[in-house]
Amino acid sequence: MSHTITSAFILLLLVLDPFGTLPIFISVMRGVAPQRRVWVALREACMAFGVLLAFMLGGRTFLELMRLSERSLEVAGGVILLLLSIRIIFASGRRLFDEEAAPSGESGHEPFLFPIAVPLLAGPSAMATVLLLASRQPAQLVEWIAALAAAVGVCAVVLLASQPLHRWLGESVVTAIEKLMGLVLCAIAVEMILAGIKHYFSAP
């Protein structure tokens, strides 16, 4: 199946799933000082773009160098998301990623690369998608980079709007969404693991 820049943008946006990341982002950002949240959101989006761009340009070479297959990447990513989903479902949102967040969120620990940039935005599925785009249609690499930049830009806008959305929805609704997304992430993680195992045993 061939892609255009528009279809690649839509595909990447669906894979990055910024609205699915929103409840987790809000939970993680509770321990970050309010004046730092815009910078952190932009930084994490840029990091996600950098990781995916690096994987788009050199992912297949890296996998071949390490003697890894896309199936192993799929299973490993599923395990990571499964552990993350379990913490979302059973842990308090305020203590999900920062066990020692400072009171009032004034000097809490800032997320750096994990878990927002990787694996929530630049997750295994996004890595596999950019890798497949680049390997199947390498002549359109510039278009894939532009589509990736646009998709990550939309994610950054959604993350920047997280606090107003939080105030509008309220604490109880956000908590409910967090638990629901934990269940969805758990199902996605199990599906990824099963798909990776299935592809491994069905490969010639």
Look-up of token digits 């990091």: 47
- Domain chopping of the chain, boundaries: 5-27+35-93+125-202
pLDDT at 144 over 90: yes
Query: Amino acid identity, residue 159?
Result: L
| H or E element that contains 135 | helix 124-136
The mean pLDDT value for 173-177 works out to: 72
Average pLDDT, the chain: 78
Share of the chain above pLDDT 90, in %: 17
pLDDT at 163 over 60: yes
Backbone φ and ψ for 112, nearest 5 degrees, come out as -135, 105
pLDDT for position 36: 86
The mean pLDDT value for 61-79 works out to: 76
* SS3 category, 3: coil
Cβ neighbourhood burial of 164 (10 Å; 0-12, 13-18, 19+): exposed
pLDDT for position 176: 78
Distances (CA, A) of 56 to 29, 36, 131, 144, 189: 29, 30, 5, 9, 22
pLDDT for position 171: 67
The mean pLDDT value for 172-189 works out to: 75
A 10 A CB-CB count for 87 gives 15
Look-up of token digits 């069905």: 202
Q: Please give the residue that has the higher pLDDT: either 13 or 70.
A: 13
Residue pLDDT, tens place only, 88-103: 778 654 444 444 433 4
The answer to which of 88-97, 115-124, 138-147, 157-166 has the lowest mean pLDDT is 88-97
CA distance 22 to 165: 9
